[in-house]
Structure 1
Amino acid sequence: MTLPAPLTGVVPPVCTPLTPEGEVDVPSLLRLVDHLVGAGVHGLFVLGTTSEAAYLTDRQRTLVVESVVGHVGGQLPVLAGAIDMTTPRVREHVGAVTRAGAQAVVVTAPFYTRTHPEEIARHYRLVAAASPVPVLAYDLPSGVHTRLPAEVVLELAAQGVLAGLKDSSGDLAGFRRVVAGAREQCGSTGFSVLTGSELLVDAALALGADGAVPGLANVDPHGYVRLDGLCRAGDLERARAEQERLCALYRMVDAGDPARMGASSSALGAFKAALHLRGVIDCPLTAEPQIPLTQEEVRRVGKFLAAAGLL
């Protein structure tokens, strides 16, 4: 299967279920994929932030892509993160995930060392030149400590270097600039602008975004597919109500005590606890060294699920 141009709709960043020993739990992963596909999502993004890609070994990353691509069997596109510190390492990941069957790769700016916008642009050109599949940029300043300048993204889009952007910057004004610029500069080339926000999907689609990559869609894929459909149908009142229901459900990410764990442990732990409570995955474990939720914190997650009608 080739990547649609543009890619539209709901593309969940798929959680990576783990066994108690910390290995990829492939049966649970495939049940999660069935849970998402059955809800009508429009694509799958593996090896992103919500997938805990940063914690997985290269062997585990390859296993995830091979398992998901083999299970989906061309029903919908599978995008894979090729995320690492430097261009040579990213190019190696691109080779591994495309050999495993990914139809597109999602790439952040380089990180660890400080970079200049010219170096970021060079990074994407070198990665795209080596990639047999489309490359989407991933704006993740919370993880790589660099913003992707809108002018760089738009220049690379117009040149055909980038096929899209997953924006997890939290900057709605900057996102709007990319959406408008892509419409102006790229015309019908099929550049996809996707929001990574769980909370602003209705606003992003109203601005002209092509779709969303919300981590919470692991837990409630039907809700996000419903929201996407309502927005596209112009049913703004019902879309707002659905977005507000999802915003209330998203509050589960704060279930963990900030005095004993980081925000990532709390959020990813909550998503996995919710999937476990819903019977989708066998074990809610997050990768080391993240701190697991306590039983009381898991009960808190369950209350959010019940309030959203998911238990």
Structure 2
Amino acid sequence: MTFPAPLSGVVPPVCTPLTPQREVDVPSLLRLVDHLMAGGVHGLFVLGTTSEAAYLTDRQRRLVVETVTGHVGGRLPVLAGAIDMTTPRVLDHVREVTAAGAEAVVVCAPFYTRTHPAEIARHYRLVAAASPVPVLAYDLPGAVHTKLPADVVLELAAEGVLAGLKDSSGDLAGFRTVVSGARLHPGITGFSVLTGSEVIVDAAMAVGASGSVPGLANVDPGGYVRLDRLCRADDRAGARSEQERLCALFGMVDVGDAGRMGASSSALGAFKAALHLRGVIDCPLTAEPQTPLSETERERVGKFLAAAGLL
């Protein structure tokens, strides 16, 4: 299945605000959705990496999707991650998130054991055959330890199995191979290719990206919408300037002490601290077992926000 029109523009991977007891903070999540929509985004992606989907229970995952789709009410497309280790478990998630209102599912390759490209292709075919909504591939080698081969993605796109690709590999050359391959393939139409790399959106758009899925857009949705508009207007100088401003803001992901926390704890903690400091969410905590930022580290996030004119 495909979207009525190809998915494009800025589609933030929505953070999942939590209470001090690590339950989904529904009022904060609603304010975050309003904040993103006020920034002019073109869609929303829940239950991805930035949403901490891997740390949420199935009950919490469904609550997130129901909350967001119910609040958006069809004003924007809502995509939901259906992320798990095996095809049967992914199919369970597809049933849950589509019943909760998701208009597309975003699916990574199977993981835990290494999977052959032929098995990856079979995985997506089985998911697409059972899904009532379009399926996007999620290229996330840092988490699933498999880089989606461009030829497999293009083959599945030509078959109509995949409606798009969210590429979070950071591999711009590989990204370009998919973009150009989709453009030149006579059997591929309406296929969306979006970058999930915050710091190369302008470069990805220059080679033909449909749009972006930047985690930092939670903090500054207007900045990424502005960048998208500049890229589409072919204002290279303006796009470069806005991208460099966002790159400087992205420096907040390194505020966490690498001696006591992982990069994910630092980055997601920084996004949530920024949203807390901006008054969007009530609590900046991340899900267990991630290490929370210290007060000093959260203050450093505030300095990044001030430098970007967001405080």
Corresponding residue for residue 96 of structure 2:
96
Aligned runs of 1:27-176 on 2, under 5 Å? 27-176=27-176
Q: Distance in 1 between matches of 2:144 and 2:4?
A: 28
Asked whether the 8 Å contact 1:168–1:196 carries over to 2, the reply is: yes
Letter in 2 for 1:235: D
The percentage of aligned residue pairs carrying the same residue is: 83
Q: Distance in 1 between matches of 2:303 and 2:217?
A: 18
Asked whether the 8 Å contact 1:3–1:77 carries over to 2, the reply is: no
Letter in 2 for 1:143: A
Asked whether the 8 Å contact 1:78–1:103 carries over to 2, the reply is: yes
Q: Distance in 2 between matches of 1:201 and 1:146?
A: 23
Corresponding residue for residue 267 of structure 1:
267
Asked whether the 8 Å contact 1:13–1:215 carries over to 2, the reply is: yes
Query: Secondary structure, in 3 states, of the residue corresponding to 1:223?
Result: helix
Query: Secondary structure, in 3 states, of the residue corresponding to 1:199?
Result: helix
Q: Distance in 2 between matches of 1:148 and 1:271?
A: 27
Asked whether the 8 Å contact 2:182–2:188 carries over to 1, the reply is: no
Q: Distance in 2 between matches of 1:234 and 1:258?
A: 39
Gaps of 5+ in 2: none
Corresponding residue for residue 306 of structure 2:
306
Corresponding residue for residue 254 of structure 2:
254
Aligned runs of 1:186-265 on 2, under 5 Å? 189-265=189-265
Assess, with a 3 A threshold, how the Cα gap between structure 1 residues 184 and 169 changes in structure 2: closer, same or farther.
same
Letter in 1 for 2:67: S
TM-score after normalising by structure 1: 0.99
Asked whether the 8 Å contact 2:165–2:194 carries over to 1, the reply is: yes
Give the Å deviation of 1:205. Answer: 0.5
Letter in 1 for 2:292: P
Give the Å deviation of 1:234. Answer: 1.2
Assess, with a 3 A threshold, how the Cα gap between structure 1 residues 148 and 108 changes in structure 2: closer, same or farther.
same
Query: Secondary structure, in 3 states, of the residue corresponding to 1:165?
Result: strand
Asked whether the 8 Å contact 1:252–1:270 carries over to 2, the reply is: yes
Aligned residues: 310
TM-score after normalising by structure 2: 0.99
Q: Distance in 1 between matches of 2:261 and 2:179?
A: 36
Asked whether the 8 Å contact 2:111–2:144 carries over to 1, the reply is: yes
Q: Which runs of 4+ in 1 moved over 6 A?
A: none
Q: Distance in 2 between matches of 1:143 and 1:26?
A: 27
- The superposition leaves residues 166-209 of structure 1 with CA deviations (integer Å, 9 ceiling, x where unpaired) of 00011100000000001111566200000001000000000000
Q: Distance in 2 between matches of 1:197 and 1:151?
A: 21
Letter in 1 for 2:138: Y
Query: Secondary structure, in 3 states, of the residue corresponding to 2:199?
Result: coil
Assess, with a 3 A threshold, how the Cα gap between structure 1 residues 219 and 186 changes in structure 2: closer, same or farther.
farther
Query: Secondary structure, in 3 states, of the residue corresponding to 2:105?
Result: strand
Give the Å deviation of 1:54. Answer: 0.1
Q: Distance in 1 between matches of 2:213 and 2:69?
A: 18
Asked whether the 8 Å contact 1:5–1:189 carries over to 2, the reply is: no
Letter in 1 for 2:72: V
Give the Å deviation of 1:5. Answer: 2.7
Letter in 1 for 2:154: L
Q: Distance in 1 between matches of 2:110 and 2:234?
A: 39
Letter in 2 for 1:155: E
Q: Distance in 1 between matches of 2:4 and 2:182?
A: 16
Letter in 1 for 2:50: T
- The superposition leaves residues 36-55 of structure 1 with CA deviations (integer Å, 9 ceiling, x where unpaired) of 00111000000000000000
Q: Distance in 1 between matches of 2:5 and 2:147?
A: 25
Corresponding residue for residue 16 of structure 1:
16
Assess, with a 3 A threshold, how the Cα gap between structure 1 residues 79 and 249 changes in structure 2: closer, same or farther.
same
Query: Secondary structure, in 3 states, of the residue corresponding to 2:61?
Result: helix
Give the Å deviation of 1:3. Answer: 3.5
Letter in 1 for 2:81: G
Assess, with a 3 A threshold, how the Cα gap between structure 1 residues 187 and 39 changes in structure 2: closer, same or farther.
farther
